[in-house]
Amino acid sequence: MNKTLPVQKNEYIDVVFEDLTHDGAGVAKVDGYPLFVPNGLPGEKAKIKVIKANKGYGFGRLMEITEASPYRVEAPCPIYRECGGCQLQHMSYEGQLMAKGKQVKDVLQRIGKLGDVKVHPVLGMKDPWRYRNKAQVPIGEHEGGLIGGFYQQRSHQIIDMQACLIQQEKNDDVVKRVKEICNRYGVRAYDEKKHKGDLRHIMARYGLKSGEVMVVFVTRTNELSNKQKIIDDIVGTVPGVKSIVQNINSKKTNVIFGDETKVLWGEEVIYDYIGDIRFAISARSFYQVNPEQTKVLYDKALEYASLTGKETVIDAYCGIGTISLFLAQKAHKVYGVEIVPEAIEDAKRNADLNGITNVEFAVGEAETVIPDWYEKGVQADILVVDPPRKGCDEKLLQTILSMKPKKVVYVSCNPATLARDLRVLEDGGYQTVEIQPVDMFPQTTHVETVALIELKL
């Protein structure tokens, strides 16, 4: 027992929650010592049990709320506590948006030393439910039948799920029907311990505007018993189905997809729209799971770019070309770069699909390709970055500082790495003008932001 700590394991204490962590736990402090407690909300008074006391911080379990937050609500999902896919269903949507705004401001101050930058209120959804257009469901067996749902928090125990309240209802329906059909024909679920059985995952994609559906089976081997009967039943009973695909993943791994993908029936892709731009979506395409809020985010990025039709724009981390194609509608020329070759193939296809000819896409690391373009005389007026959670590569930030585009529009899915990168750009002669957070993932702790950064003259 560590006598120097203000709390001890198994001790019961009364606390007041001051904040939320980035994964949605309540933060309480005892003599400056932080305790992280799942399900606690800022402003609440509660009795907790200390379950772990490390040197610099501890963890607790919520035993009783003695004074509830005005933002506390009853989570509507029956498996909310077990699942872990959502972290904030016990908080009203108004409270969620305020907490996300605070999170952005806090990291800008703490990590970026940018406390005076204007951060606008978070742009939320009118209806913050049923927004996800892609369901990836692990499949297991229970009492001789197939089950599919989500892994229980911190385990590989599958919780059977009939409905997910942040999924499009169409996807719930597709997964349920496909599960029933596979059960009917005796398909065996993959057993990850024994590395036996066939069906690992069922994935459903739904085009919100097009109404088109794709069904993907992820299997351990080429085999899927009664394959033709399963296909016939899906085609006969799933409205809107346009594509049935099989992906083979024979490895002992947590990664969902394997390298081989083949079309079992119908098309290789389904189509959907973000704004007026049409996108072809294959089984493995990266495509935003909340197209409604993606449009809000990209409209803001476009507004910050304030294009007149004369500008050259570089889109680092361009993915399947979503932001590039939005920008190309208003720019003179757009160059997009992305490290994933399949994404660049999708980007080129999407440009062709929309008759957009003023874009050029390249495969490679942004920090390698962009300096190469620069040497060949490509001078960007505006640079757009939408990096993964780890933020921009250091070499890319140095490239920006040497290229000196007039504006940088930074789209971020992680406020902490955004704050870190903004500090580098500020120290290199840029000024962060304003930041707009956008809630792409209601009921979770994630928040997207778009920042406008201008070169100081």
User: Which residue is associated with the tokens 């596979």?
Assistant: 182
CA distance 294 to 204: 20
Q: Residue 368: exposed, middle, or buried by beta-carbon count in 10 A (0-12, 13-18, 19+)?
A: middle
SS (H, E, C) 253-282: CCCCCCCEEEEEEECCCEEEEECCEEEEEC
Q: Are 399 and 375 in contact (CB under 8 A)?
A: no
CA distance 176 to 410: 39
CA distance 309 to 329: 8
Q: Are 380 and 312 in contact (CB under 8 A)?
A: yes
CA distance 446 to 132: 14
Catalytic residue among 86, 182, 392, 413: 413
Q: Strands across the sheet with 241-248, in order?
A: 158-160, 145-151, 134-142, 199-206, 213-219, 241-248, 260-266
Cα distances (angstroms) measured from residue 175 to each of 109, 160, 169, 204, 268: 44, 12, 10, 7, 19
CA distance 273 to 208: 8
CA distance 19 to 242: 46
- Residue 135, SS3? strand
Angle, nearest 10°, between helix axes 415-427 and 394-403? 40
User: Which residue is associated with the tokens 């921009």?
Assistant: 392
Cα distances (angstroms) measured from residue 121 to each of 113, 435, 449: 20, 9, 11
Pull the structure tokens for residue 218: 């992820």
CA distance 203 to 139: 10
Residue 342: CB partners within 8 Å, gap ≥ 6?
282, 284, 285
Instruction: Assign 3-state DSSP to the chain and report helix, strand, coil percentages, each to 5.
Output: 25, 35, 40
Residue type, 85: G
Active site residue 77: no
Known catalytic residues?
Answer: 413
